[in-house]
Amino acid sequence: MQTVATIIAYASGFALMRYHESAANLLATSLAVDASLAPLTAIVAARRGRPTTFWAIVGFLFGLWAFIVVLLIGKPKPRERAPQQFPPTSAAA
């Protein structure tokens, strides 16, 4: 149980605070931090034009790390349209 709690604490970024409690407290607190960072990560991702559901899930799984990543990435570049393969029709016809 302690190993699982430690892994989840490092994945959420909560272990960086050197929180030393029982495994149950560490697990519960890490999941609470993840649950609070997931919607925040999704909101920031939505404002940057990224998919919100994907970032909400990533925010819950990786907590602080996902939030930092979504803050660092920029807006996606708009895709260029492919040139038309046929000549445009004339309005005079």
Q: What pLDDT, in 10s, does the model give residues 32-65?
A: 888 999 999 999 999 999 999 999 999 998 888 8
- Say if residue 68's pLDDT is above 70: yes
Spell out the residues 6+ positions from residue 12 whose beta carbon is closer than 8 angstroms to its own: 30, 31, 33, 34, 37, 62, 63, 64, 65
Q: State the Cα–Cα distance between residues 35 and 74, nearest whole angstrom.
A: 24
Helix 23-47 crosses helix 2-12 at what angle (to 10 degrees)? 20
Q: State the Cα–Cα distance between residues 59 and 36, nearest whole angstrom.
A: 9
Q: What pLDDT, in 10s, does the model give residues 26-40?
A: 788 888 888 999 999
CB atoms within 10 A of CB 12: 25
Residue 55's pLDDT is 94
Q: Quick check: pTM over 0.95?
A: no
